Amino acid sequence: FLGLALYLTPGLSKTAEGRTQRPSGVVYAWVDAFLLPDASEELPWNSDLTAALAEARTQKGTKRFVFVDFTGKTCQNCKYNENNIFPRPEVAPLLASYTLAQLYTDEVPAEFFQSPPTEEMTAAEAALNADFQRAVFKDEKLPLYAILEPLPTGKVRVVGVYDEGKINDAARFAAFLRKPLGK
């Protein structure tokens, strides 16, 4: 226990940028999945899929695709992927090539609302996201990652769905992201 305490000690302090110092290694990756995320986000996530699709329709090149992250506040595998796989150098630039939508299916965080929401509002929005996931992808697992292409007709084409919840192979996930981009 003393060794674990010493290993986790850097997590008690902040860097010059105000981010929590995170020890490297598998042990901390799992501990980190249970912690609250840092306030600053590296990627520009949108919580409104309709707005993300509309934005992607106006983009040229690779930004015309929308990467959808079905996630949850209580999903440890989601947090693990978001904190340990998405920031990797082989993944982050690929994610930045997409218009990003993050849809919470258990409770939408208050920061995604323009005014302070009630619990009923956050739960109702999450229920809509979960219904959409069930209807389109016939799946309720979290996390679920999909790539969508908004068509000029107003419809949406599903380009791909990543079939693994907790990402165990970052190279395979990067290949999934690379394929629609032609990279």
Contact 117, 110 (CB under 8 A): yes
**Rounded to whole angstroms, what are the CA distances from 81 to 13, 35, 47?**
23, 13, 18
The order of strands in the sheet holding 45-46 is 45-46, 99-104, 66-71, 144-150, 156-162
CA–CA dist 106, 108 (Å, integer): 7
Q: What is the pLDDT along the chain (183 residues), one digit of tens a residue?
A: 888 778 777 777 766 655 666 666 766 666 665 655 554 457 789 999 999 999 998 887 667 899 999 999 999 999 999 989 999 999 999 999 999 999 999 999 988 888 889 989 999 999 999 999 999 999 999 999 999 999 888 899 999 999 899 999 999 999 999 999 887
Confirm whether pTM is higher than 0.75. Answer: yes
Largest CA distance in the chain: 61
